[in-house]
Amino acid sequence: MTVVIRPSVALTEVYLYRQPVDFRKSYRGLSAIVECELGHNPFAGCLYAFTNRQRNKIKCLFWEDNGFVLYYKALAEEKFKWPKGSEDTLVLTGQQLNWLLDGLDIDAMKGHKKLHYESVF
């Protein structure tokens, strides 16, 4: 039986930091980015995802009750399809983060547009 440890798909606030970071940073350096550059509270229970310049590694930082949890994935051959944009962060769901970890392009995964009607007549 294979046990896979992944960030929960039930997470509602995942912040994808768009700029590459130096992967020598530990939880201290990553939490400093969260607090100083993003102005967020790293102890609020949100998950933050970071990548390196080559886009072949991801580190996720999460505060869990009494300490930081780091999730790290390094690809052997390919690159992550990191979403583009001009903002510092992109807000994702836990499911979208797991799709990204699986190698899917979350920019290309668009559902049908939502329709809002006031009447059937």
Q: Is the entire prediction scored with pTM above 0.85?
A: no
Q: 119 in a domain, yes or no?
A: no
pLDDT means over runs of 10, the chain (121 residues)? 80 91 96 96 95 95 94 92 85 90 80 80 82
Q: 7 in a domain, yes or no?
A: no
Number of domains comprising the chain: 1
Q: 36 in a domain, yes or no?
A: yes
pLDDT at 58: 95
pLDDT at 110: 67
Write out the DSSP string of 17-48.
Answer: E-S---TT--HHHHHHIIIIIS---TTSS-EE
Residue span of the structural domain in which 41 resides: 14-101
